[in-house]
Structure 1
């Protein structure tokens, strides 16, 4: 069942992330919609979209038999999505939740107006309360001292805690004093990286939407925050880092 759920999630995520590419970079929020997306995974996918784009995200699945949409909403940063929904309440058949996550029901004919007004409501919060920008906040759950600690059995054990989302966030690990040994750009905006530590063990990493993030982290010790994953390629499995952030180590580079 968990395997089937992951396949459903992957299909919905691919469709949603494809839609997200069509939005203007200046959009403050993403309202994504599809036909008969599985209601059980849209919240998880909304969290994934927020992780990649760091914008409040609404995922709406419309049922083809009645034209009604069920939506899942996830916040980014300190944006209050419930407050933003209240601004759009007259367009919704119902909604509820809290400032970080919510659900809604909407008619198909109200979607475009909702998309515009929800974006405006988020923009108003950002300008009036958040200094005009959304700053990514990162919570670290644990630290490792070298790549040797990133063994596959431990990473697989973490994966058994899935599905991840609001109330069950992916575990974020910090590794201080690593080095970027190699790097390349993928699809003009993602980074494929190789990190090494003092023992010269290496581990691969991928950093999404970070093509301009290399300045300041090459040739110096680096602190990297990441989610550990198992990457399968040609029937071989290896630990991979899904990088959340990286910076020059402030102590070792002083």
Structure 2
């Protein structure tokens, strides 16, 4: 909706403006810099990320295969390995059942090819000859999340002996019991938090499915030192261990690292510890992937010859793989990854791009609808009657939108309003709503929802995200109870712009920028470094690009020098300058004339390469009126 100035003032009461804060962690930055051959500025950034101690810093900067943790440390890994080895040796049929999102599809891919390779080693044969390992994936609409009775019955009908779950199963207490009662062997591999009940005294009683082995690094009795693996990461560790005990070189598991890096980034796992290794590998290998499908997808998107970023993983490749599972059948995405014929792979890539474009249109429409609904209810003062921006936890319902995009819409709301968001829509079952939630760091969504788990007909997830179903008539009650129970403060829902170093623009150099680039990949848990300088004169502003969507500034660094800075929202910048300094000063700035425009700028240094020439260029991340 288009807000009047008065309505915007009402919204601004509830939606907080970002606060600029300079990180204050202390360490001997000079000593760290000398030890690892980096600037004290880079050492400060590393410390700000919570990376301390020689071993951790070395892994952060230069982690490789030798830095990774032993898969045998995972609880039940040894037991699962023995069971699977015996089943494969005896040619018992194994079926892998995953979730339908990127993490689930890639987990399935890793287990499927890894176990077929293991079977081949045990039988002195070729992996392509393996017929005893296959897969299934639940249909998002018809099946819902994870393993269920229909999938179990189908496995039994097909003569399957063993089911291995991936990226699901930890909360499937009844489903695993059903499978075991019918004589199946069940191995659960998952990375989601363990369901629990709280006693009257507040003690937690954790509930595990009674499978033959349960591999989940979130288990309280699991000694694996890194708890941040995605579902594909747990699957990767299982295959690594299978190769070890079946005489296959463990290094062969590296063929799955590209897929694992993609899953790690797309499942919003923290890019720390082992996860940095996986994502780094993926970013490098995807430029010329050996996987025909991924290679075609990168080429059709025009990214195969450019530097690949975590943005490409999370907003280009991942959504395409996700789209099939969201709008149709996730088996389409797995078949895409498995395809070896380059021509067929390219055709499948085109199909996924088309499906993803449809998904994007649905998401945009749904996000606009809910944003308008929230802001209208807020300006109309419908507090307590409907979801408004006065709520600390957003619980909203949108009819007639595909259930597959509610998670993306929830993520949009979380980013826009800096608070947990849960978005529901109608399920196929009359009277039932299905939803998805995304959270902020100060709100553990899994634990908060677990307090009211009896209200849900289905529920699961982790601290930052969850999926659930509920009877429609209980939605308002859920919204009320979650907001009454929420202890979120205004501080919690105020976005923070964390500055790593208050550093003058003049301090930057190409050498320092190259050192900063060693801190990539950036993403959740390892945000892009941010620097800031106050009171920077703007000598000139130019609006460039065919669509006039690029702003190029010349910022005065002092000492008679300027540095280029870019921004991608020229209209907002120009309007702000007019409001802060007046129309005349804005015109002078745009004409490159002496002017009074001064801004505080938060920036990230980059290297611009053009016609063989390299120069410094600042990406302006935020700005305020300078004094």
Q: Which of 403, 409, 414 pairs up with 1:45?
A: 409
Partner residue, 1:3: 357
- Superposed, 1:37-116 pairs within 5 Å as 37-63=401-427, 66-116=430-480
* 1:105-128 CA-partner distances (Å, limit 9, x unpaired): 101010110111111222xx325x
Distance 1:91 1:119 in 2: 15
Distance 1:114 1:72 in 2: 14
The answer to whether the aligner puts 1:136 opposite 2:499 as a matched pair is no
Partner residue, 2:488: 126
**Is contact 1:29-1:56 (8 Å) kept?**
yes
Distance 2:566 2:621 in 1: 18
Partner residue, 2:553: 196
Q: SS of the counterpart of 2:404?
A: coil
Query: Shift in Å at residue 28 of structure 1?
Result: 0.7
Q: SS of the counterpart of 2:470?
A: strand
Distance 2:397 2:441 in 1: 22
* 1:77-107 CA-partner distances (Å, limit 9, x unpaired): 3111112212322221121111111111101
The answer to whether the aligner puts 1:223 opposite 2:223 as a matched pair is no
Query: Shift in Å at residue 52 of structure 1?
Result: 0.9
224 and 41 in structure 1: CA distance in 2 versus 1, 3 angstrom threshold: farther
Distance 2:457 2:403 in 1: 17
**Is contact 1:81-1:101 (8 Å) kept?**
yes
**Is contact 1:77-1:134 (8 Å) kept?**
no
Q: Which of 17, 27, 33 pairs up with 2:397?
A: 33
Q: Which of 19, 25, 33 pairs up with 2:373?
A: 19
Query: Shift in Å at residue 139 of structure 1?
Result: 7.2
Query: Shift in Å at residue 204 of structure 1?
Result: 4.5
**Is contact 1:39-1:61 (8 Å) kept?**
yes
Asked which structure has the greater CA Rg, the reply is: 2
More strand by share: 1
Q: SS of the counterpart of 2:423?
A: strand
Distance 1:219 1:84 in 2: 47
Gaps of 5+ in 2: 1-354, 379-387, 500-504, 506-522, 542-548, 556-562, 581-595, 605-618
Distance 1:29 1:193 in 2: 36
* 1:24-48 CA-partner distances (Å, limit 9, x unpaired): 4431111111223222211111111
Aligned pair count reads 190
* 1:150-201 CA-partner distances (Å, limit 9, x unpaired): xxxxxxxxxxxxxxxxx879x868585676789xxxxxxxxx9966233567
* 1:126-159 CA-partner distances (Å, limit 9, x unpaired): 25xxx8643424579xxxx8xxxxxxxxxxxxxx
79 and 64 in structure 1: CA distance in 2 versus 1, 3 angstrom threshold: same
Instruction: Report the more deviating stretch, 197-206 or 18-27.
Output: 197-206
Distance 1:64 1:11 in 2: 21
99 and 172 in structure 1: CA distance in 2 versus 1, 3 angstrom threshold: same
**Is contact 1:77-1:137 (8 Å) kept?**
no
Distance 1:53 1:114 in 2: 20
Instruction: Report the more deviating stretch, 22-31 or 78-87.
Output: 22-31
Distance 1:36 1:173 in 2: 41
RMSD (Å), alpha carbons: 4.0
Partner residue, 1:246: 623
110 and 195 in structure 1: CA distance in 2 versus 1, 3 angstrom threshold: farther
